[in-house]
């Protein structure tokens, strides 16, 4: 396994909808493993294809404390959302150090294929539901900053620019 570079805003790949995965092979499984290693190293709890420069509909998630419950999602889609909306802070590896309160459904049902092309389903609430929605948004070219007002988005982008300048 190897670490992949994490793509950051404003790279245009992050704003483009991804292509469906059609081939399930060792290359796909290796890419998903590399994505997990990259996510754990970052550290994060989710990572989508576009965030590592791959415009394919795939993501990895692991919200466990021990980092031993990875979920590999290929061609995921949300098939149900709860009516209950909750607000919580979100961040993103593609916007390092930036956070905002985002309103999302508290629970979702997600259908996806695993790394072998087998159909799977997750019924999630709380943090897992939030993470699934965040990563699936990435696959549709949506960032968490697209869920906030333009004023707040501009503040996040200025903070990101300031952080980059300090780290340069």
Closest alpha carbon to 137 in 41, 17, 13: 17
Of 74, 85, 67, whose CA–CA distance to 110 is shortest? 74
Considering the entire predicted model, what is its pTM?
Answer: 0.96
pLDDT, residue 1, reads 75
126 part of a folded domain: yes
Q: What is the pLDDT of residue 97?
A: 94
Contact status, residue 63 vs residue 131, Cβ threshold 8 Å: yes
The answer to whether residue 72 sits within a structural domain is yes
CATH number at residue 26: 3.90.45.10
- Catalytically active residues, by annotation: 135
Bridge partners for 56 per DSSP? 19
Position 167 scores a pLDDT of: 86
Contact partners, residue 41, CB within 8 Å, separation at least 6: 3
- Cα separation, 103 vs 157, in Å, equals 19
pLDDT at residue 43, as a whole number: 96
Residue entry with tokens 């245009």? 12
Domain with 28, as residue range(s), is 12-83+105-143
| DSSP 8-state assignment for residue 56 | B
Number of domains in the chain: 1
What does the pLDDT read at residue 168? Answer: 81
pLDDT along the chain (168 residues), means of 10: 94 98 97 98 98 98 97 98 98 96 98 98 98 98 97 94 89
Helix (H, G, I), strand (E, B) or coil at 76: strand
């Amino acid at each position: 396994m190897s670490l992949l570079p994490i793509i950051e805003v404003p790279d245009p790949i992050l704003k483009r909808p991804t292509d469906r995965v059609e081939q399930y092979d060792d290359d796909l499984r290796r890419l998903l493993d590399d994505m997990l290693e990259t996510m754990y190293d970052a550290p994060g709890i989710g990572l989508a294809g576009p965030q590592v420069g791959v415009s394919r509909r795939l993501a990895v998630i692991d919200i466990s404390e021990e980092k031993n419950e990875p979920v590999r999602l290929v061609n995921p889609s949300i098939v149900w959302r709860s009516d209950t909306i909750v607000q919580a802070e979100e961040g993103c590896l593609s916007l390092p150090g930036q956070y905002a309160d985002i309103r999302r459904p508290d629970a979702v049902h997600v259908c996806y294929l695993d790394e072998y092309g087998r159909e799977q389903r997750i019924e999630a609430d709380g943090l897992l539901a939030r993470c699934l929605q965040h990563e699936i948004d990435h696959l549709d070219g949506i960032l968490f900053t697209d869920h906030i007002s333009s004023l707040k988005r501009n503040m996040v982008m200025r903070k990101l620019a300031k952080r980059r300048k300090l780290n340069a």
